[in-house]
Amino acid sequence: MKLGVIGSPIEHSKSPEIHTNFANQFDLDLVFDKYLVNKDECLEWIKSFFESGGLGLSVTLPLKEVVLEIADDISLRAKQAAAANMLFLNNGKIYADCTDGLGLVTDLKTKEIDISDQKILILGAGGAAKGIVPSLLKENPNQVIVANRTLEKAVQLVAQIQELGGSQMKSSILMPSSLTLDNLENTSFDLVINATSASTSPDQNLEVDPSIFKGTAAALDLYYSQADTSFMKMAKEQSVAKVYDGWGMLVEQAAESFSQWTGFKPDTKGLLESRGA
């Protein structure tokens, strides 16, 4: 079984160790490599990977959007995200899916963090935010606010998801905002998710007011990191009881992709515990 992960940079990727752990649970003979693939060569590269016996690929930055161009079939959640994090050769056709949102929801449930009927603040409106918002909405939250440094991108994200969600999507449930949250005075959030890329570099500063954590039960940074990110530190300083990084989501989105590729549903417990999640 030939699988792999593509992106640029790719050296940091934990996908090979995660998928090898899953394969060992079922004694599967699996090869999972990481491949440095750039945007301009990506479609040709994917074509030849599948022509030479490849079964599936995880897709990471900056290829998540461009890979949709080669897909014969795209899942609704990948259409909503306008991005895919996995490709799968099924009956000779390339299928594209986005398992990030399901990965996050599974992780939140494992951590006993409520979504249903909750007020959720998402910081950021890039690819990761697009991937998670549709899955969070399926869990019937009270409200999801997407707050972004560039307001226009939050407005676009909300409009795009509302369009695909159809008329049943109430605009009071999914709302855009700037990062200053000027339009939301005195609102408190049950769950705050950092979907910005600010944590990826120590030089970047996430300028949010610590008061966003007033009354917050849980905070999660999608970035996975051994040390607390500045977002996580701020949440802890504001006495948020449950504060996590994105390791759990990473493992769970991988588990969903693995199930689709192989037909085996892996146990994620060992990997989650190995990071204290």
Q: Which residue, 101 or 165, is less far from ligand NAP as judged by CB?
A: 101
Give Rg (Cα) of the chain: 18
Check 2, 47, 64, 265 and give the catalytic one. Answer: 64
Report long-range pairs for 16-22 (Cβ below 8 Å, ≥24 apart). 18/250, 18/251, 18/254, 18/271, 19/58, 19/254, 19/258, 21/266, 21/270, 21/271, 22/254, 22/255, 22/258, 22/264, 22/266
What is the DSSP secondary structure assignment for residue 30, as one 8-state letter? -
Strands 86-90 and 93-97: antiparallel
Annotation marks residue 64 as catalytic: yes
Residue 124 as a binder of ligand NAP (CB under 6 A): the answer is: yes
Residue 198 as a binder of ligand NAP (CB under 6 A): the answer is: yes
Q: Which residue, 65 or 90, is less far from ligand NAP as judged by CB?
A: 65
Residue 206 as a binder of ligand NAP (CB under 6 A): the answer is: yes
> Which of 160, 197, 259, 260 forms a contact with ligand NAP (CB under 6 A)?
197
> Which of 79, 126, 155, 188 forms a contact with ligand NAP (CB under 6 A)?
126
Give the residue nearest to ligand NAP (CB). Answer: 126
Q: Which stretch binds ligand NAP (CB under 6 A): 26-34, 50-58, 203-211, 267-275?
A: 203-211
What's the closest the beta carbon of residue 68 comes to ligand NAP, in angstroms?
15
Name the token pair of 257: 């992709």
Q: Which residue, 79 or 153, is less far from ligand NAP as judged by CB?
A: 153
Q: Name residues contacting ligand NAP, limited to 34-63 (CB under 6 A).
A: 61
Q: How far is CA 259 from CA 151, 218, 262, 275, in A?
A: 37, 29, 5, 22
Residue pair 141/118 in contact (Cβ under 8 Å)? The answer is yes
What are the residues binding ligand NAP (CB under 6 A)?
Answer: 61, 100, 103, 124-129, 148-150, 153, 195-200, 204-206, 222-224, 246, 249-250, 253
Catalytically active residues, by annotation: 64
